[in-house]
Structures are given as C-alpha cells and as structure tokens.
Structure 1
Amino acid sequence: MLVIALISLGLSSAQDAAVAYGARLYEPPVVRPFEPPSNFGRVTEEGDGGGDPRRRPITRPVAVEAYSGSYEYPPSTADEAYTRGVTQAERTMDARMGPLDGIWRVQDASGATVLSLALMDAGAAKPIEGAWRKDGGIASLGVIERSERSEASVSLAWAGGELTVRPDGPGWTGELLQDGRAVPVTLSR
C-alpha cells in the first residue's frame, strides 16, 4: 500500500505546477571556480622537488610514539597551489556580493535574538533573496517575499512581518514590524 501511495505521489499533477516563490533556473557562476591548468600536478617542483610524492601504504597500525616530528606530510607545491586557487576564487565571488549577503541575527534592544536571516545579496542590481526563522517560543520560518533597496535603507517583507534596516557604522540598525508592533532592532553576524 505504501508503494502505491509513493507512486501516486510521484505521478501527481501537483508536481508539475510552477514553484510559488519564483525559483530561477541554474545559471553558471559569474566567477568561475578554480580550474587548474592541464599540466597541474605534473610539473616538477623547483628546489627540493625530486622526492617521491607518493606515500607508502599503511600495512599495520602505527603507534603514536613511532612519529618523529609531524603527524602528516607537509603539503606539496601542487596542494598549496590548489588551495590558493580555491581561496582566491572564493574571495573574488565574495567581493562581488552585496553587503547583506550571509547569515544574520536580528536582535532587539535587550540583545535577545528575535529572528535569524539567511540572505543572498547578489549586488545592487538584483533583489535580495532569503529566508527567515523566528527564534524563541514556537519556531516558525518562511521565505522573504519582497525586497526593496534604496540608497538609505533596505526593506525585506514576508507574510506577517517587515524589516527595514539602514547601514549604521559597521552594522545595520532599523525596525521590525511584526504583529502590528514596531520594534527597534540591530543586525549582527
């Protein structure tokens, strides 16, 4: 009976309906991830690079006392180059994002966390997308349905609430309108 229910769920026409929150189709990233050149890892290292880069297989347990110095081999030049490339690609992508990109806590005047936000701010030309979660008591969550940006402030709205914030020094301050009440809040990471 469970199999029939799962099959009918998979074939239901409700699955063909448009997604309500307007999901975008996949687009390749503007900043490409680190892609090593075709000879990556096969170039002979300069200096003392003539050693054997392969590690001997471990055939029996190794006691801690058997180690002299480090527990691991130092990274090779290829490992370090790959790590630097990935780090640089991440920094380049982060530099392209807007100031509200990331995970935020919305705190009231007493410092209590009222909401948690996960925002994707792809820059001034695109709307801010994200989700919210109400902290404390009965936890509820939802999707940010509307965002508006001006030079002075950013406004995020969802069913039952609206958050308007302004840059203030190193952070953001503003007010949360929820359940008919306006509460002064600050945003922190």
Structure 2
Amino acid sequence: MFWLALVTALSSDPTIQTAGLQDATPETYQAPVVRPFEPPSDFGRERAEGDTDVDLHRAPLTRPVAVEAYAGDYEISPTDGEVAYDQGVAQAEINADSRSGPLDGRWHVVGADGAPLLSLALTDRGENRMVEGAWRRLDAAAETPHGGIAGPVRSRGDLRVVPLADGELRLHPADKGWRGDLVEDGVSRPVVVSRAG
C-alpha cells in the first residue's frame, strides 16, 4: 500500500518527472551497424568437416624448431566457427560501407599547384543524416588555426559546403573525389579533394 501511495505521489509532481532531463540530441540512439559476432550454440565444440580426423592441437615446443621442419602451413587451418566469424565481420563492414554517404572517410585537400593544404576526416552515414568531422592544416600557414571541427555539412543540390574554423570548403563531385574552393578570410582558391591513401 505504501508503494502505491509513493508511486502516485511521484507521478503527480511534474518537477520530479522533469528533473535532470536535457534537450534531445539531433539523433536518437540506434544499434551499431556492425553487430557483435553471435556464435552458434555449438561454438567451439563442432568437429572439423572432412573425412579424416585432424589433430587440432600441437604439442608444446620444448626445443627450437627450424623452419625446414614444417611440412605444410605454419598455422592450423581455422575452424568453421573462426571462418564464420571472419566472414561475418567482413560482411558487416561491406554493409556499413554501402550505407555510407559520399563524403564518408579521410580526405586530402590540395591546392591548384598540388601543394597539400588540409587533412579532412568526415563521418557521412547517408540517408540525409548530419555530416561532420574534423580537419587539420597541412601547410605552414601561420596565424591560422591548425585544426578543428568540420561541419555540419550543408547541401545545395550537388554542392557541399563544409564549414571550417576560419572559412569553408565549397565542393562539387569530381572523378574520384571532389573539386571546389577553399574560402578563407574572404579569399577563394581552387582545391582538389581526394581520398587519403
């Protein structure tokens, strides 16, 4: 009876209900794209496939072994569970990459003369979600910030505007990257943006 009275009192007092709440973030939480490996129920107990028994464990080394002593591979073949795990991780990465937007990844920004200007890392999760990241200056320009937050990116048609601390990048899609202008202190200079290798 006491608990019922307490719950009723708490639910009727609006100051208690809203205490500690903050404004919602732009995006609500979603489960990660790369799910953890979920092993089958017989994980670690399954027998290797094939028509012969295989010794899955080697005897401990008691003396040095010369390379010439190995007759086959240096490692025992992976089990079915290990192969399934590797395939699951690889497929999850492929799926995550396929959902990413065109700006996702690491980029190098170079001037028209080929001189490196900026290093840029952006997270573009596609589906009209916020694109943001960070930048770092690669040239020796003094009296300017050496890095900071990039974004959030604004889109107008095929134009992408990436705000930086003291300017912005205005980019259009190109062959294997982006072309556009780096605008700093009202001065615009042409740039080429390509994937960091």
The match for 1:56 among 59, 75, 80 is 59
Q: What displacement does 1:177 show? A: 0.5
The match for 2:91 among 88, 91, 109 is 88
The match for 2:41 among 38, 53, 62 is 38
Contact 2:166 2:184 in 1 (8 A): yes
Q: What displacement does 1:148 show? A: 0.4
Q: What displacement does 1:27 show? A: 4.6
Q: What displacement does 1:26 show? A: 6.3
The match for 2:119 among 105, 111, 116 is 116
The match for 2:169 among 155, 163, 174 is 163
The match for 1:28 among 4, 28, 31 is 31
Question: How many residues align structurally?
Answer: 168
Which residue of structure 2 aligns with residue 185 of structure 1?
191
Amino acid at match of 1:158: L
Q: What displacement does 1:186 show? A: 1.2
1:98 aligns with 2:101: yes
Gaps of 5+ in 1: 1-21
Alpha-carbon distance in structure 2 between the residues aligned to 1:52 and 1:118: 47
The match for 1:125 among 123, 128, 150 is 128
Alpha-carbon distance in structure 2 between the residues aligned to 1:99 and 1:180: 27
Q: Looking at CA atoms only, which structure, 1 or 2, has the larger radius of gyration? A: 2
Contact 1:160 1:179 in 2 (8 A): yes
Alpha-carbon distance in structure 2 between the residues aligned to 1:50 and 1:153: 62
Alpha-carbon distance in structure 1 between the residues aligned to 2:127 and 2:173: 14
SS of 1:42's equivalent in the other structure is coil
Alpha-carbon distance in structure 2 between the residues aligned to 1:64 and 1:165: 55
Which residue of structure 2 aligns with residue 73 of structure 1?
76
Contact 1:44 1:50 in 2 (8 A): no
Q: Give identity over the alignment, percent.
A: 48
Q: What displacement does 1:100 show? A: 0.9
Alpha-carbon distance in structure 1 between the residues aligned to 2:87 and 2:43: 13
Query: If the length of structure 1 is used for normalisation, what is the TM-score?
Result: 0.77
Distance 1:54 1:24, change over 3 A: farther
Amino acid at match of 2:91: Q
Q: What displacement does 1:37 show? A: 2.1
Distance 1:31 1:70, change over 3 A: closer
Cα RMSD over matched residues?
2.4
Gaps of 5+ in 2: 1-24
Alpha-carbon distance in structure 2 between the residues aligned to 1:105 and 1:60: 51
Query: If the length of structure 2 is used for normalisation, what is the TM-score?
Result: 0.74
Amino acid at match of 2:44: G
1:107-151 Cα deviation digits (max 9, x unpaired): 111222110001100114211110000002258111114320233
SS of 2:87's equivalent in the other structure is helix
Which residue of structure 1 aligns with residue 12 of structure 2?
none
Distance 1:187 1:57, change over 3 A: same
SS of 1:146's equivalent in the other structure is coil
